[in-house]
Amino acid sequence: MDKKQRPETLCVQAGWQPAGGEPRVLPIVQSTTFKYASSEQMGRLFDLEESGYFYTRLQNPTNDAVAAKINALEGGVAAILTSSGQAANYYALFNICQAGDHLVSATSIYGGTYNLFSVTMKKQGIEVGFVDQDASEAEIARAFKPNTKALFGETISNTGLKVLDIEKFARIAHKQGVPLIVDNTFATPINCRPFEWGADIVTHSTTKYMDGHATSVGGAIVDSGRFDWEAQANKFPGLTTPDASYHGIVYTATFGKEAYITKATAQLMRDLGSVPSPHNSFLLNLGLETLHLRMPRHCANALEMARYLQKHPKVAWVNYPGLPGDRYHDLAAKYLPEGSCGVLTFGLKGGRAEAVAFMDRLRLVAIVTHVADVRSSVLHPASHTHRQLTEAQLKEAGIPHDLIRFSVGIEHIDDLISDIEQALTD
């Protein structure tokens, strides 16, 4: 029934489905543990022979209801919540690779994910090759090796604001016999559902628009259920051969389309444990209930702000995928017809010094290390998140020294523009 409902209805109603006499609002099941009558039944739960709750690190009813809502919004078959977006991307990949394996990723991705791939996963013996997402299919295909296990990209990259050609990436991944994993954080399923364009797995930092109020760090992984792991059984032995830690269970044989998420829950969450607190999931659910109302407002405000900045004599350049003439406008028109996101980047003619002075003059718009919440905020990566980098390294990371990242909130646009106006005028 969920599949036929529109995203607006799913935002409000999907996930928690109370029976008669149960609370109308998603309850916070703030319990680490669950009681059973017989030790035999508890044993069956531990062997994955019966489904049920026994310990919140593996499953919790509040967390599961919110995962089910995100699953419905993305149009997947199963989903899992994680304690952060970082954990979501790590689990999404580590669920299908191990030491000695290789991954291919777009270069223009979130800085934290770039570090995870290029430093931490490398220490674990997993190598990531980076590609220019705008290169030709043939060029990107050259980055693949026999031990490559996945292709990764972001629908709209944070902070580059590049729009991913998802169909092209899906074609490349599938020709190589690996899944395409798309981080859909900035677009959200309100503006883009990557499964409709061929992606196999979607990840989220729910910390951003989904929570939307800057209260809770969190993440999610959603599986489309469409990737045929058994057709590539040699590549994915973790899913297609017996798991010694569960008396030899074979995930694909026992769980079919839910094999991937079941393995992430039963094996990775059991052993690594990046589980969200039920209270955070409750807050995330409140955010999701209005996601369909907030996204259009974020996008409309960002577009108007981009237009205003573009015309301002002190502004050197503006990047916003929704802006006609933007490098990614055509891809945005295809994949994000309803709007892209509330984040834009721009540079001032005075460069780095002027950027810093401008930000210090802002009154309504705050300087914070965050994006995608209801309050407007700015960040100057060269002075903050990327301050350890040299001029040359900044250039390589695609972050000009004058770049200001502006997360446009849902305040009245006239008040935002007058704050920017006064800060540019002084």
List all residues 6 or more positions away from 388 whose beta carbon is below 8 Å from its beta carbon.
Answer: none
Q: How far apart are CA 332 and CA 422, in angstroms?
A: 31
Taking the complex as a whole, the smallest distance from the CB of residue 221 to ligand PLP amounts, in Å, to 12
230-262 b/e (C-beta count within 10 Å ≥ 16 → b): eebeebbebbbeebeebeebebbeebebbbbbb
Taking the complex as a whole, the smallest distance from the CB of residue 89 to ligand PLP amounts, in Å, to 6
154 binds ligand PLP (CB under 6 A): yes
Q: Which residue of 101, 127, 183, 402 would you call a contact of ligand PLP, by CB under 6 A? A: 183
Q: Give the nearer residue to ligand PLP in terms of CB position, either 156 or 355.
A: 156
Taking the complex as a whole, the smallest distance from the CB of residue 117 to ligand PLP amounts, in Å, to 11
Q: Which residue of 2, 34, 42, 112 would you call a contact of ligand PLP, by CB under 6 A? A: 112
Taking the complex as a whole, the smallest distance from the CB of residue 111 to ligand PLP amounts, in Å, to 9
Q: Give the nearer residue to ligand PLP in terms of CB position, either 117 or 260.
A: 117
Going by the DSSP 8-state scheme, the letter that residue 245 receives in this structure is G
Going by the DSSP 8-state scheme, the letter that residue 55 receives in this structure is B
Contact 229, 215 (CB under 8 A): no
Binding range to ligand PLP, per CB under 6 A, among 180-188, 254-262, 266-274, 404-412: 180-188
Indicate the residue whose CB is closest to ligand PLP: 85
- The CA-based dihedral angle spanning residues 12, 14, 20, 26, taken in that order and rounded to the nearest 10 degrees: -70
Contact 223, 76 (CB under 8 A): yes
User: Locate tokens 């069956």: which residue?
Assistant: 44
Q: Which residue of 16, 90, 110, 229 would you call a contact of ligand PLP, by CB under 6 A? A: 110
User: Locate tokens 């928690």: which residue?
Assistant: 16
Q: Residue 168: enclosing H or E segment and its boundaries?
A: helix 166-175
Binding range to ligand PLP, per CB under 6 A, among 29-37, 41-49, 179-187, 325-333: 179-187
Contact 223, 260 (CB under 8 A): yes
List all residues 6 or more positions away from 239 whose beta carbon is below 8 Å from its beta carbon.
Answer: 96, 229, 251, 252, 259, 260, 263
127 binds ligand PLP (CB under 6 A): no
Count of residues that bind ligand PLP according to CB under 6 A: 17
86 binds ligand PLP (CB under 6 A): yes
User: How many other C-beta atoms are found inside a 10 Å radius of the C-beta of residue 367?
Assistant: 14
Handedness of CA 317, 321, 322, 328 (dihedral sign): positive
Binding range to ligand PLP, per CB under 6 A, among 56-64, 91-99, 107-115, 332-340: 107-115
Taking the complex as a whole, the smallest distance from the CB of residue 113 to ligand PLP amounts, in Å, to 5
Per CB under 6 A, contacts with ligand PLP among 395-424 are none
Binding range to ligand PLP, per CB under 6 A, among 24-32, 171-179, 205-213, 307-315: 205-213
Site string for ligand PLP, 208-227 (x = CB under 6 A): x--------x-x--------
Q: Which amino acid would we find at residue 186?
A: F
Q: How far apart are CA 55 and CA 40, in angstroms?
A: 16
Taking the complex as a whole, the smallest distance from the CB of residue 305 to ligand PLP amounts, in Å, to 19
Q: Give the nearer residue to ligand PLP in terms of CB position, either 95 or 176.
A: 95
Q: Give the nearer residue to ligand PLP in terms of CB position, either 63 or 113.
A: 113
Q: Using CB under 6 A as the criterion, which residues of the chain lie in contact with ligand PLP when the complex forms?
A: 84-86, 89, 110, 112-113, 154, 158, 183, 185-186, 205, 207-208, 217, 219
